[in-house]
Structure 1
């Protein structure tokens, strides 16, 4: 969607909104049958669960997928259809993956999540809360941004942001206040 504002200066203020963020986890494995041999090739319903204990019942996350295996091998992304909140993967206190194939009981033992090498570096880095020595407060907009003349905003896909548009008098225009003119251009209507 693109729209063009009317004459005069305008101010665009992003309004950040909470939205689910995807952190998919790549999982590969071999599905065993009851004798420990790889399951036959084909589609298998698999339920993945994340727990905070190696053998407890406190489930933090769960998702079921239908996966195709070849020689018992499968691969998938956990969190692609049901996002996993980052706080769930608290590996310092222990987080475990349970895998259940079809109607069988969950495979034992559960798999403990561990840090990836780059994650260890990020956690151990003394400057992990800065960018080139600057803190997040150094990147806060401290004033108004004016765009004299017309304003063009192009959105190529949905994002978790919304915008309020102020004209030079401080009058607010929002998506519901946008009007399409006879020339096909969109302008802010605040009357």
Structure 2
């Protein structure tokens, strides 16, 4: 009895059953097991290897996945994991609500009827989708990366990736600046709580520019310019000590930007 004759009688002898998926197989790319039993035309179980094509169809009879595998048959019985040869994405079961499995052995025609895909693959996809939804809510972070509220004191600086915390958003955080302008009245490199420094006016008398109803001043780039007069008026209630004036000998001087270097966090 030759091989072609053996294949001729297989159409009515295949039974495929979806098996429960182990948790390790519930991730994408997916593996979905198909179990069957093959006999020859006389009903005798087959032993050896056969080429079997597994194909998934949507409700409109369109081929949405195909896999050709060499399957080992042991006394008629076999188990094959669809997706072990060609990558099978579990999202396929989200895209198509009704899928059927077609099986073709060797050179035979595809067996009929096709078998409806059971709920197990869909359940596996739903499980992975739920995990994906949680991951999306956590912006890709692992759930174990988060510290419970009652363990907040256990967070250390070493646990925080660089740039992962916006310190400026912490309530009560006080910014620290560094003076970087060589023309400020404070030496460059000095740390300050102010975002600006006053341009140094010690050499303003050397300016010979003309200012109409304004005052000569040294600008933040060291050049001569003109600025409006600034009147500093600090309200002082009667009977209270007035606050000291701002530590600036030149109230009308231009203000130059300092560099933000960090924050002091509240204790």
TM-score of the pair, normalised by structure 1: 0.49
- Tell me which of the two structures has the higher relative contact order, counting C-alpha pairs closer than 8 angstroms and 6 or more residues apart: 1
Computing the radius of gyration from Cα coordinates, the structure with the larger value is: 2
